[in-house]
Amino acid sequence: DLSELSWLAKERTISLDEQYFSIVGNIGSMEEAKGVIEHGGEGIGLFRTEFLFMEKKQLPTEEEQFHVYKSVLESMDGKPVVVRTIDIGGDKELPYLKLSKEMNPFLGLRGIRFCLGEQSILRTQLRALIRASAFGTLKIMFPMVAVIEEFRQGKLMFKEECEKLIEEGVEIGHIELGMMVEIPATALMIEAFAKEVDFISIGTNDLIQYTLAADRSNEQVSYLYQPYHPAILRLIKNVIDAAHKEGRSVSICGDMAGNEVAIPLLVGMGLDEFSVHSAAIIKTRAHIRKLNKAEIEKKIDILLNLPNAVEIESALENFFYKKL
């Protein structure tokens, strides 16, 4: 029962062998930030900013965006807030932009690809964010990065806007710049990215759909949408290991971070941060507090060498649940 666990809102997330994990919240609007605090989230791991663009009949102005970002940062009282730049395209449309119809929208102009083509939209958003950075701890990340040049171009725009604002006399805070890993090629080539980014957040919702070539919104292929498929777990482990070598932290902000079967696997692989819907924060914390990271870590190689998701799931049950 969740109400019996409410005391956990004030606790840290420590495994049985005293390893610390961070649990933060996903939000899609300014109002949802309160829920993250109430449930004991240690920050915001994903602020999806699309709502700001989708609820209107035209693009939100820099001023409108600034007020939203500032109020989210203020309501988090210094706790880190990861804001994702607009991830339009795929299944998220902006009718007023009259984007061209695509045969495969999930493989088309979405996320950072769209933003690098529509630079003024990204620059306006970056300016609003940079101005808001003085009011809290801001981190910015780009979605759908496939090649390092995309991150570099986004970073260059970010730096240019920072310099302009500093020249204008605007006070700005320290801002970390990161990226999402949602594309298998990016997960495989992560060493090169890890050297240039401040932090990494894995978007498993998209990573799963691209790895198994199964549209995340198509029920006819939902049987292929398998979070514990060894291919997914190996990609995640590859990202965590390479990022740690470069001293970067790794978060997961897809639904997998709150998934009961996945959590022990992610703990054993050394994931640093779980970013989940605010209603799942306490449950995730309670779950991790019952696990022994070192013990799971010893079994990870065996698990990742199993041939399919079904075997991984049943091996997990045998290894951990019966023993713990």
Binding residues: 48, 84, 182, 205-206, 216
Binding-site residue set for phosphoenolpyruvate: 48, 84, 205-206, 216
Return the residue of 15, 137, 204, 226 that touches ligand PEP, per CB under 6 A.
204
- Whichever of 252 and 288 has its CB closer to ligand PEP, that residue is 252
**Which residue ranges are tagged as binding site for Mg(2+)?**
182, 206
What does the alpha-carbon distance between residue 39 and residue 179 come to, in Å, rounded to a whole number?
26
| Structure-derived torsion over alpha carbons of residues 273, 293, 287, 140, reported in degrees to the nearest 10 | 0
Q: Which stretch binds Mg ion (CB under 5 A): 50-58, 73-81, 205-213, 282-290?
A: 205-213
- We find the least distance from the C-beta atom of residue 202 to ligand PEP, in angstroms, to be 7
- Residue with Cβ nearer ligand PEP (8 or 208): 208
The answer to whether residue 150 forms part of the interface with Mg ion (CB under 5 A) is no
Select the span of 51-59, 69-77, 146-154, 197-205 touching ligand PEP (CB under 6 A).
197-205
Selection from Mg ion, ligand PEP, none that 253 binds (CB < 5 to 8 A by kind) is ligand PEP
Among 203, 227, 258, 264, binds ligand PEP (CB under 6 A): 203
Q: Which residues within the stretch 239-268 sit at the binding site for ligand PEP (CB under 6 A)?
A: 253-254
Is 206 among the residues that bind ligand PEP (CB under 6 A)? yes
- Residue span binding ligand PEP (CB under 6 A) among the ranges 64-72, 203-211, 231-239, 241-249: 203-211
Give how many residues touch ligand PEP by CB under 6 A.
Answer: 10
- Confirm if 159 and 121 have CB atoms less than 8 A apart: no
Minimum Å gap between C-beta 141 and Mg ion is 11
Nearer to ligand PEP by Cβ, of 51 and 300: the residue is 51
Convert residues 119-158 into a mask of x (bound to ligand PEP by CB under 6 A) and - (unbound).
----------------------------------------
Of residues 13, 40, 43, 48, which one binds ligand PEP by CB under 6 A? 48
For the chain, give the secondary structure using H, E and C: CCHHHHHHHHCCEECCCCCEEEEEEEECCCCHHHHHHHCCCCCEEEEECHHHHHCCCCCCCHHHHHHHHHHHHHHCCCCEEEEECCCCECCECCHHHCCCCCCCHHHCCCCHHHHHHCHHHHHHHHHHHHHHHHHCEEEEEECCCCCHHHHHHHHHHHHHHHHHHHHCCCCCCCCEEEEEECCHHHHHCHHHHHCCCCEEEECHHHHHHHHCCCCCCCHHHHHHCCCCCHHHHHHHHHHHHHHHHCCCEEEECCHHHHCCCHHHHHHHHCCCEEEEEHHHHHHHHHHHCCCCHHHHHHHHHHHHCCCCHHHHHHHHHHHHHCCC
Out of 25, 203, 227, 258, which residue is the one contacting Mg ion (CB under 5 A)?
203
Distance CA(201)–CA(26), nearest Å, equals 12
Site for ligand PEP in 155-194 (CB under 6 A): 182
* 140 backbone dihedrals φ, ψ, rounded to 5°: -120, 140
Interface segment toward ligand PEP; rule CB under 6 A; list 17-25, 71-79, 200-208, 217-225: 200-208
Question: Dmax over Cα atoms in the chain, in whole Å?
Answer: 62
Selected from 29, 71, 153, 205, the binder of ligand PEP by CB under 6 A is 205
Is 277 a residue that touches ligand PEP (CB under 6 A)?
A: no
| Residues at the interface with ligand PEP (CB under 6 A) | 46, 48, 87, 182, 203-206, 253-254
